[in-house]
């Protein structure tokens, strides 16, 4: 790719090659973390915690085509690439962390995942566990928006709508409120960050559990990328995202844990979420 920031001397980087993935935790350790969250819920410490695993793989060559494949994954509301000197991020996120337009603030939390088949859709819609997990996060997002000074009534415009992303069904809600024009960007971001769908409830207690359980930091994942204009802000949550440093590609995936979570199913769900990104990187 001519003009790539990660290839500043414009030498030929060679063909793209991705090595084997190295997981930051084993399926057994992931499952054990799920059990630890369930125990914390039983003690009354938290209601839900989103636990996230990480994997990295060495790479060589020009990453441009691979990153474009990630950004073009079906269902990406926020598909794009951001790059600098020796690093790059590609996201195919379907989730809105926060949007401000025409005096309203909107967030669109996603919680609940199944294969994009007819049976998967029926299972997702019928799952009491997935719906309970989802409603907890919707309530958390309502509270986050209500913390903003001068914010009008917070409403749930859509609840548990099932939409498709890269071969998966996902449940999404839309939460919104009128926004006082005096609210600044810093105050707005303090209210909504980090996103409830990637933390849990109560948020501060969930963050403490995350810090104790997760094997590595989340890096650029579970943050936000988007754009800010003088009359419009739109930031997507950086789920379904890959980051490249000078030598390795990094991906993250996880899920929300409730008292009814089954450890093996949570491990499988995380693998399903990161699968399309890994496949796109390999050109499959």
Q: Token match 């441009």: residue?
A: 64
DSSP state letter for 251: E
Question: d(Cα 184, Cα 188) in Å, to the nearest integer?
Answer: 6
Paired strand residues for 17: 60
The alpha-carbon radius of gyration of the chain (Å, integer) is 19
Active site residue 266: no
DSSP state letter for 16: -
Question: d(Cα 92, Cα 157) in Å, to the nearest integer?
Answer: 24
Of the candidates 45, 28, 39, 25, the residue with the CA atom closest to the CA atom of residue 261: 39
Question: d(Cα 47, Cα 259) in Å, to the nearest integer?
Answer: 8
Catalytic residue among 23, 28, 36, 95: 95
Question: d(Cα 55, Cα 65) in Å, to the nearest integer?
Answer: 21
* Phi, psi angle pair for 253, to nearest 5°: -165, 155
84 CB contacts (<8 Å, ≥6 apart)? Answer: 5, 6
Active site residue 214: no
Catalytic residue among 111, 133, 214, 266: 111
Length of the chain counted residue by residue: 284
DSSP state letter for 195: P
Residues with catalytic function = 95, 111
């Amino acid at each position: 790719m001519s003009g790539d920031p990660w290839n500043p001397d414009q030498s030929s980087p060679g063909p793209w090659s991705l090595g084997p993935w190295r997981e930051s935790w084993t399926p057994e350790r992931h499952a054990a973390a799920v059990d630890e969250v369930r125990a914390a819920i039983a003690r009354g410490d938290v209601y839900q915690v989103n636990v996230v695993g990480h994997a990295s793989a060495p790479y060589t060559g020009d990453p441009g085509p691979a990153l474009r494949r990630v950004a073009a994954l079906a269902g990406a509301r926020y598909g794009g690439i951001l790059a600098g000197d020796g690093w790059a991020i590609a996201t195919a996120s379907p989730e809105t962390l926060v949007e401000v337009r025409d005096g309203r603030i909107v967030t669109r939390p996603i919680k609940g995942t199944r294969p994009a088949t007819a049976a998967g859709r029926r299972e997702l819609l019928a799952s009491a566990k997935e719906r309970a997990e989802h409603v907890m996060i919707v309530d958390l997002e309502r509270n986050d928006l209500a913390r903003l000074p001068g914010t009008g009534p917070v409403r749930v415009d859509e609840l548990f709508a099932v939409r498709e992303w890269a071969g998966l069904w996902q449940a999404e809600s839309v939460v919104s409120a009128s926004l006082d024009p005096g609210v600044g960007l810093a105050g707005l971001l303090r209210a909504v960050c980090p996103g409830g769908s990637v933390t849990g409830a109560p948020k501060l207690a969930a963050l403490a559990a995350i810090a104790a359980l997760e094997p590595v930091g989340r890096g650029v994942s579970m943050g936000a990328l988007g754009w800010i204009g003088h009359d419009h802000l739109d930031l997507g949550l950086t789920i379904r995202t890959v980051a490249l440093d000078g030598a390795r590609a990094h991906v993250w995936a996880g899920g929300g844990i409730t008292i009814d979570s089954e450890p093996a199913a949570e491990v499988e769900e995380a693998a399903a979420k990161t699968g399309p990104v890994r496949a796109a990187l390999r050109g499959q």
